[in-house]
């Protein structure tokens, strides 16, 4: 009798397992069954926006059965868009973009309704490459000349928002050199660059939208973040100027917390295929001039945790600025 009961229980367990497996497999095969909203955390025409428009044009229908619906939610250094993504239902039909600043800096300096634990990393598609730029007729032809000028004169600079990485770059530079520039924040890099070109500010530090204007000679680049840019080989890096400044930023794709693994896997695979498409490499890397960079979900997750630790140490030096 006991053996029969045991066998019956084992039969039920096997049936439940097989049914569950079939449901998960069916979900994987059928997803997505409708367009996926993708919240872009910066304004239209910026580097995140343009990258995702190129990306979306290649994604559907070759690599994914449904397209992305791109929704711009700029403001607060990218934290408004990230808040929307974090609040979304974890069903795979709302994802969003993130820059390093909104994900790993702003949550450390002011209260926002999310942390990295409230989001599910999917992948990294692009590296932001930032520049310090001035007007084409500005009297400074090097970062050193600009710094010396700012010791005796007021200098106003534009960025994509308070405590974005571009703002922190200038704060680091000011702290190292003993200068103090006046911050004029905007909601995206196009607005910040246009403020420079229209004379509202003296300097702009943004990631992404400056390259066409630099190449056309409408603005001048005095310094470049990170390891430089192959399309701007003559622009010195901060390191070449002798400054140790944290300036690395990537654009990632995330979903809300508890996003099912089969959805993460399917999106990561589709996005990986788009990233390696030659058209994506040419359009984003060569035409737009952004840094094409890939990380999968696990590597992106590790990067975010490492960056949080690094930024926590850096921000200890700026307690007087933090709200």
CA dihedral over 275, 103, 78, 186, signed as positive or negative = negative
Q: Mind listing the pLDDT tens digit for each residue in 242-291?
A: 999 978 889 999 999 999 999 999 999 999 999 999 999 999 988 888 88
- Whether residue 229 contacts residue 147, with contact meaning beta carbons closer than 8 Å, is answered with no
Confidence of residue 15 (pLDDT cuts 50, 70, 90): very low
**pLDDT at residue 211, as a whole number:** 84
Query: Would you list the DSSP string of 284-306?
Result: IIIIS--EEEEE-HHHHHHHHHH
Q: CA gyration radius for the chain?
A: 23
Q: Is 130 exposed, middle or buried (0-12, 13-18, 19+ CB in 10 A)?
A: buried
The token pair at 94 is: 């709302």
Confidence of residue 26 (pLDDT cuts 50, 70, 90): very low
pTM of the model: 0.84
Confidence of residue 33 (pLDDT cuts 50, 70, 90): very high
Residue 231, pLDDT above cutoff 90: no
* Cα gap 242→265, rounded to integer Å: 43
**pLDDT at residue 17, as a whole number:** 46
Higher-confidence position of 13 and 86: 86
* Cα gap 273→299, rounded to integer Å: 17
Complete domains list, the chain, with CATH: 35-127+249-318 (3.40.190.150), 130-241 (3.40.190.10)
**pLDDT at residue 76, as a whole number:** 87
Q: Which of 1-5, 72-76, 162-166 has the lowest mean pLDDT?
A: 1-5
């Amino acid at each position: 009798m006991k053996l029969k009961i045991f066998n019956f229980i084992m039969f039920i367990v096997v049936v439940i397992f097989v049914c569950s497996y079939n449901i998960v497999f069916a979900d994987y095969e059928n997803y997505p069954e409708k367009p996926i909203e993708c919240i872009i955390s910066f304004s239209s025409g910026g580097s995140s926006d343009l990258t995702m428009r190129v990306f979306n044009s290649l994604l559907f229908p070759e690599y994914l059965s449904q397209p992305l619906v791109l929704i711009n939610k700029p403001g607060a250094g990218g934290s408004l868009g990230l808040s929307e993504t974090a609040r979304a239902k974890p069903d795979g039909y709302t994802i969003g973009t993130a820059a390093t600043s909104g994900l790993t800096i702003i949550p450390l300096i002011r209260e926002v309704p999310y942390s990295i634990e409230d989001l599910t990393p999917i992948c990294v598609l692009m590296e932001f490459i930032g520049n310090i730029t001035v007007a084409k007729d500005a009297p400074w032809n090097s970062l050193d000349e600009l710094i010396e000028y700012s010791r005796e004169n007021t200098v106003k600079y534009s960025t994509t928002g308070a405590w974005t990485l571009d703002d922190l770059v200038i704060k680091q530079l000011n702290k190292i050199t003993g200068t103090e520039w006046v911050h004029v924040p905007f909601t995206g890099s196009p607005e910040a660059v246009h403020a420079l070109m229209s004379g509202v500010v003296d300097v702009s530090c943004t990631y992404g939208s400056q390259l066409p204007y630099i190449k056309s000679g409408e603005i001048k680049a005095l310094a470049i973040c990170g390891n430089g840019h192959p399309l701007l080989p003559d622009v010195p890096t901060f390191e070449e100027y002798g400054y140790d400044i944290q300036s690395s930023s990537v654009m990632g794709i995330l979903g809300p917390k508890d996003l099912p693994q089969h959805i993460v896997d399917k999106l990561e695979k589709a996005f990986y295929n788009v990233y390696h498409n030659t058209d994506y490499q040419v359009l984003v890397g060569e035409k737009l001039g952004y840094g094409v960079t890939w990380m999968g979900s696990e590597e992106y997750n590790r990067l975010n945790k490492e960056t949080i630790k690094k930024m926590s140490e850096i921000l200890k030096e700026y307690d007087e600025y933090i709200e």
